[in-house]
Amino acid sequence: MTLKKTYTLIAPVYDAAIDRATREARRRSVAYLPQVPARVLIDGVGTGLDLPLLPRQHHYVGLDLTAAMLERARPRGQGLDFQAVRGDAQHLPFADATFDHAVLHLILAVVPNPHACLAEIARVLRPGGTVLVFDKFLKRGQPALLRRLANPLVRRLATRLDVVFEDVLAQTPSLHLAHDQPALAGGWFRLIRLNRV
């Protein structure tokens, strides 16, 4: 089953499964958006769970692969300067240096190629911009045997369990790590802030 089909099917139940468990971590992540009005990409906006948490002064573009997710996100964007765009996070439909900041919540461990996703973010971000990441990552050398065994099946259905963030970041030299802290599940989920140089 493709990612597009899976997320079209789970769109109606996605919020019930994800919202309460991740809301506080999402809130902590977006608190790092600056006060100065800017253009912000919400990459993998999904059903728009981040939208009610966002400061109102920015212009937001929310990108998602599926129409079913975007249909649920649009109402949550009311009261924001928000535009929903259907597209692939691994091949962003935007020109270079279009955005000042980007939010990547639960997307890098979902896409088949997280390296391409992060490289695309670096491409569309202006120098000096920030990237806010909230997701689940293995640490380098971490055995995590159950996650690794489950990954071949789970990655076909919804998400990857084997992404090592440091390996992804190493392939994107224009992004530098500014902050990294555990968020949920004993540090499996992390809050990460990157700077675009």
Taken in order 83, 89, 93, 95, the sign of the CA dihedral is: positive
Judged on CB neighbours under 10 Å (0-12, 13-18, 19+), 65 is buried
pTM to 2 decimal places: 0.88
By C-alpha distance, which of 131, 135, 13, 2 is closest to 69?
A: 13
By C-alpha distance, which of 154, 158, 64 is closest to 104?
A: 64
Q: What is the pLDDT along the chain (197 residues), one digit of tens a residue?
A: 576 776 667 677 778 778 898 999 999 999 999 999 999 999 999 999 999 999 999 999 999 999 999 999 999 999 999 999 999 999 999 999 999 999 999 999 999 999 999 999 999 999 999 999 999 998 776 665 565 554 454 555 556 668 899 999 999 999 999 999 999 778 879 999 999 99
Cβ contact 169:194 at 8 Å: yes
DSSP string, 106-152: S-TTTSS-HHHHHHHHHHHEEEEEEEEEEEE-BPTT---HHHHHHHH
22/19 Cα distance (integer angstroms) = 6
CATH classification code of 3-196: 3.40.50.150
What number of other Cβ atoms are within 10 A of residue 24's Cβ?
A: 12
Model confidence over 29-70: pLDDT tens digits?
A: 999 999 999 999 999 999 999 999 999 999 999 999 999 999
